[in-house]
Amino acid sequence: MDDELAGRVAIVTGVASGIGAASASLLEQAGAHVIVADLNAAAAGTAGRFVRHDVASEDSWKALLADVLAREGRLDIMVNNAGISGGAGTVETTTVENWQRVQSVDSEGVFLGCKYAIEGMKKTGPGKAASQGSIVNIASVAGLIGTGGPIAYTAAKGAVRLLSKSVALYCAEKKYGIRCNSVHPGGVDTAIFNPLWQMVGREQGKAVIGAHHPIGRMAESEELGHVVLWLASDRSSFVTGAEIVADGALTSGLMRRALRGPS
């Protein structure tokens, strides 16, 4: 795996912790030059070159792309990972402000990430080299099946699933040499669960959420990082427009568990 991504430039958003930090580190280990982009300066030092960035701001995307093209000279891999949960509000309890905040980060942030990734990749032409450009969008199982709440997060992740397919199709038809896929994790032990861990304790919380997954546990961030690495590399060269579900059979088991009833 060493040097598999040598010469490639990758941007990973949302890297202060969790899936983004693990992905950035694995991409770097595979030889990519990684730009880690986050609102939170704690991301500095995780891997690669840190740039303060707000995925919900188009101006911030313009500045990030200009900076990367000026300093690194090309863009090959974009991992749109930054996300917020926005709490567990339902259709009755979610405010318009909360809805809009979650859409702006989790949905519009990914749209902008795809838009500026294509602009950067087209300018530097990964499709013309031996390698392909790859966009990896981190969605969720919440983008595959409905939840009573959090409604804003579920709707945003559902949008990521279909906007990823639209980008994949568009880029394929345009012969840009750019692939785009979505990743749908089940429960992953990251800082996104900190509010829950504070209420019930981390080990207790992990056990309860893990038990909802047929595999019997939550995932670790590195397990999702390896999915990102595979999608970013040419090993997945014929995979585009796909939804990669990494959920310990959580969504596969829904019907079986419904028929079996509560255990």
Ligand X SMILES: NC(=O)c1ccc[n+]([C@@H]2O[C@H](COP(=O)([O-])OP(=O)(O)OC[C@H]3O[C@@H](n4cnc5c(N)ncnc54)[C@H](O)[C@@H]3O)[C@@H](O)[C@H]2O)c1
Q: Which entry of 116, 153, 170, 176 is annotated as an active-site residue? A: 153
Region binding ligand X by CB under 6 A among candidate stretches 1-9, 33-41, 66-74, 248-256: 33-41
CA–CA gap between residue 234 and residue 242 (Å, rounded): 15
Which one among 8, 10, 13, 229 touches ligand X, defined by CB under 6 A?
Answer: 13
Distance (Å, rounded) from C-alpha 127 to C-alpha 120? 12
Task: Give 168's Cβ-side CA count (13 Å radius).
Answer: 22
- Does residue 170 have an active-site annotation? no
- Identify which range of 8-16, 68-76, 111-119, 120-128 contacts ligand X by CB under 6 A: 8-16
For residues 13 and 132, which CB has a smaller minimum distance to ligand X in the complex?
13
Contact 239, 179 (CB under 8 A): yes
Count residues binding ligand X (CB under 6 A): 29
Task: Work out whether 55 is an interface residue with ligand X (CB under 6 A).
Answer: yes
152 touches ligand X by CB under 6 A: no
Q: Which of 83, 86, 126, 177 binds ligand X (CB under 6 A)?
A: 83
Q: Which of 30, 36, 105, 135 binds ligand X (CB under 6 A)?
A: 105
Query: To the nearest whole angstrom, how small is the minimum distance from the Cβ of residue 84 to ligand X?
Result: 5
Cβ distance to ligand X smaller for residue 75 or 82: 82
How far apart CA 143 and CA 196 sit, in angstroms, is 21
What stretches of 103-235 show up as alpha helix (H) in DSSP?
Answer: 109-124, 151-173, 194-200, 202-211, 221-232
Kindly state the helix (H) or strand (E) to which residue 10 belongs, with its residue range. strand 9-13
Q: Which residue has the tokens 């598999």?
A: 4
Alpha-carbon distance 43 to 34, whole Å?
12
By the rule CB under 6 A, 190 interacts with ligand X:
yes
If DSSP codes are grouped into helix, strand and coil, which group holds residue 263?
coil
Q: Which residues are catalytic?
A: 153
The residues that touch ligand X, with contacts defined as CB under 6 A, are 13-20, 38-40, 43, 53-56, 81-84, 105, 138, 140, 185, 187-188, 190-192
